[in-house]
């Protein structure tokens, strides 16, 4: 008997319908074969399905079973085909009856017949809505992901036994009520890293506040121990939660990357990804035979922190250029091209030289001119031109470290800075309501002309700066974007001269020599 069960496969952030065709022959040599370009994980479904059905009290037939994953020319990978294969076998043996409405079955089986947390359920629900499929039978631990798509019915399946009972009009599996407010992570950075705990570095704090308010990239350079890492790690405490549309974008990426915790729904907290300098290019950008998202996509709508920036390989650094400009990374393979979103805020930190003390007034640099040149040249001009704010983070004066109690009352904490950032982001959200962008850093030239009109004196200041420092056209527009963010923090509708002047002091980069 032939049975066809509907499911789906994922390629990047896109899904395609897959039909699991199961044919059980009463004649022929007993066997269990899966065809349709399965990978090793799919091929191993034979043993998982067989053992799960036996442990669920079902006599597994000693018959010839052929499973075809159609269309057969698309590679299949993963363990999500376990459930549709099991359902196809059960229906072919007339143990169950299928729903009248078209339904998707999706999930990995444990050997005891229960269903395990399976990645990609949110993408499956979006695909179901697109194809007008009403019912989804998915693992209970993964069901909250799909429940955010309101147009489909999510049935959280705990075990194959419970699903058999449901399909045979026994004990019904209740539809899941969405819990959209549930988040994937807590703000663990609030307590450990607060701006009030960072002594001195007022200019760096101001620059990071501007960067957070407009989603701008920032580069911090300074000697070891000056507080660069602590400043960067304090940034999650001042970022606002994700908007609904942003949240869906981020959750899709984390769903396909299998980074959604069991029982969790939409991610509401902005990602903060810390990447070690030994990370490979594929780990940073994404890729693989079946391309998966890299760190820059996992930081989408959040922060990507690259400490020891010049220690990254040249290929890694240069591969950031296109995503920083376009907000998307394209990965091409023989089978086609896949795009992952990569709208992230880059925080890069570096020492001025290999030993870290070039230009330090109290410590002598021991590096040779050649090693300094080689170290600094790893950061190419085109790459640095794509970073909006450039600041020096000097060593904190010892008097400030000793007299912390006297100056602590004048230091803003993360909570108060976050309120300022949220207010600025709200202004931007209202401004770009019809433009399908979220922050000032997302603006294209057409948006700058529309929302960032300069007065004559401001234009003159900017013109003189471009001529004096030989700034590029890209830098010119990025200065205007930074000035727009400063004006938003200032709650000003217009970009004033002081906003342009402040933006210039962060943008004009000077090496320590």
Pairing state of beta strands 64-70 and 31-35?
A: parallel
Q: Which two tokens stand for residue 468?
A: 């004096």
Confidence of residue 190 (pLDDT cuts 50, 70, 90): very low
pLDDT, mean of residues 360-377? 92
User: Can you give the pLDDT at residue 509?
Assistant: 54
User: Can you give the pLDDT at residue 508?
Assistant: 61
Give dist(CA 456, CA 436) in Å, integer.
30
Among the ranges given (182-196, 234-248, 320-334), the one the predictor scored with the smallest mean pLDDT: 182-196
**What's 76's DSSP letter?**
B
Pairing state of beta strands 115-116 and 108-109?
A: antiparallel
Q: Are 227 and 396 contacting, i.e. CB atoms less than 8 angstroms apart?
A: yes
Q: pLDDT tens, 237-293?
A: 999 999 999 999 999 999 999 999 998 889 999 999 999 999 999 999 998 878 899
Residue 361: CB atoms within 10 Å? 7
Residue 416: CB atoms within 10 Å? 12
Give dist(CA 476, CA 120) in Å, integer.
42
User: Phi then psi for 132, rounded to 5 degrees?
Assistant: 60, 40
Third-level CATH fold of 2-167: Ribosomal Protein S5; domain 2 (3.30.230)
pLDDT, mean of residues 148-156? 93
User: Can you give the pLDDT at residue 335?
Assistant: 64
Q: pLDDT tens, 114-126?
A: 999 999 999 999 9
3-state secondary structure (DSSP) of residue 32: strand
**Per-domain boundaries in the chain:** 2-167, 189-507
Confidence of residue 511 (pLDDT cuts 50, 70, 90): very low
Confidence of residue 409 (pLDDT cuts 50, 70, 90): low
Confidence of residue 334 (pLDDT cuts 50, 70, 90): low
Q: Which two tokens stand for residue 437?
A: 């962008």
**What superfamily would CATH give domain 189-507?**
P-loop containing nucleotide triphosphate hydrolases (3.40.50.300)
Whole-prediction pTM value?
0.91
Confidence of residue 406 (pLDDT cuts 50, 70, 90): low
Pairing state of beta strands 345-350 and 218-221?
A: parallel
- What is the three-state SS of 264-332? CCCCCCCCEEEECCCCCHHHHHEECCCCEECHHHHCCCCEEEECCHHHCCHHHHHHCHHHHHHCEEEEE
Q: pLDDT tens, 35-91?
A: 999 999 999 999 999 999 999 999 998 899 999 999 998 889 999 999 999 999 999
3-state secondary structure (DSSP) of residue 3: strand
Residue of 333 and 328 predicted with greater confidence = 328
User: Can you give the pLDDT at residue 337?
Assistant: 83
Report the residue count for the chain.
513
Give dist(CA 101, CA 395) in Å, integer.
67
Phi-psi region for residue 120, left (φ > 0), alpha (ψ -120 to 50) or beta? left
Cis amide leading into 410 (omega within 30): no
User: Phi then psi for 294, rounded to 5 degrees?
Assistant: -95, -170
Q: Are 272 and 303 contacting, i.e. CB atoms less than 8 angstroms apart?
A: yes
Give dist(CA 364, CA 265) in Å, integer.
53
Q: Residue 405 above 80 pLDDT?
A: no
């Amino acid at each position: 008997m032939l049975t066809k069960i509907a499911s789906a496969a994922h390629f990047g952030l896109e899904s395609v319908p897959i039909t699991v065709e199961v044919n059980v022959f009463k004649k022929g040599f007993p066997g269990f074969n899966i065809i349709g370009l399965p990978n090793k994980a799919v091929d191993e479904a034979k043993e998982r399905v067989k053992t799960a059905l036996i442990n669920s009290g079902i006599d597994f037939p000693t018959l010839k079973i052929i499973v075809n994953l159609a269309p057969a020319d698309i590679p299949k990978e993963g363990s999500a085909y376990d459930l549709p294969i099991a359902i196809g076998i059960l229906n072919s043996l007339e143990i169950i009856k299928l729903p009248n409405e078209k339904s998707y079955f999706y999930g990995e089986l444990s050997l005891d017949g229960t269903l395990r947390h399976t990645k990609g359920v949110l993408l499956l629900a979006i695909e179901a809505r697109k194809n007008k499929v009403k019912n989804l039978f998915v693992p209970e631990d993964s069901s909250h992901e799909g429940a955010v798509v309101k147009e489909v019915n999510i049935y959280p399946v705990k075990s194959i036994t419970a699903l058999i009972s449901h399909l045979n009009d026994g004990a019904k599996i209740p539809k899941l009520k969405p819990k959209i407010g549930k988040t994937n992570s807590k703000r663990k950075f609030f307590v450990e890293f607060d701006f009030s705990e960072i002594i001195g570095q007022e200019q760096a704090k101001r620059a990071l506040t501007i960067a957070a308010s407009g989603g701008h990239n920032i580069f911090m350079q300074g000697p070891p121990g000056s507080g660069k890492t602590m400043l960067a790690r304090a940034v999650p405490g001042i970022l606002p939660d994700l908007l609904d549309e942003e949240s869906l974008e981020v959750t899709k990426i984390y769903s396909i990357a299998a980074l959604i915790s069991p029982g969790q729904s939409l991610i509401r907290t902005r990602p903060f990804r810390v990447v070690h300098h030994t990370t490979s290019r594929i780990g940073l950008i994404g890729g693989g035979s079946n391309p998966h998202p890299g760190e820059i996509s996992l930081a989408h709508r959040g922060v990507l922190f690259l400490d020891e920036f010049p220690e990254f390989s040249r290929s890694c650094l240069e591969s950031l250029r296109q995503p920083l400009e376009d907000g998307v990374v394209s990965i091409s393979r023989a089978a086609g091209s896949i795009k992952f979103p990569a709208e992230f805020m880059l925080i890069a930190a570096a020492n001025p030289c290999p030993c870290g003390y070039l230009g330090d007034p109290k410590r002598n640099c021991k590096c040779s001119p050649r090693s300094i040149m080689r170290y600094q040249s790893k950061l190419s001009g085109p790459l640095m031109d794509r970073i909006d704010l450039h600041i020096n983070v000097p060593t904190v004066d010892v008097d400030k470290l000793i007299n912390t109690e006297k100056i602590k009352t004048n230091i803003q904490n993360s909570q108060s800075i976050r309120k300022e950032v949220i207010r600025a982001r709200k202004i931007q959200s209202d401004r770009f309501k019809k433009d399908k962008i979220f922050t000032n850093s997302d603006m294209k030239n057409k948006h700058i002309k529309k929302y960032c009109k300069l007065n004559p004196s401001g234009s003159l200041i900017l013109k003189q700066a471009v001529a004096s420092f030989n700034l590029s056209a890209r830098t010119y527009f990025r200065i205007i974007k930074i000035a727009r963010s400063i004006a938003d923090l200032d709650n000003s509708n217009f970009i004033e001269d002081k906003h342009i002047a402040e933006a210039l002091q962060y943008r004009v980069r000077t090496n320590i020599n």
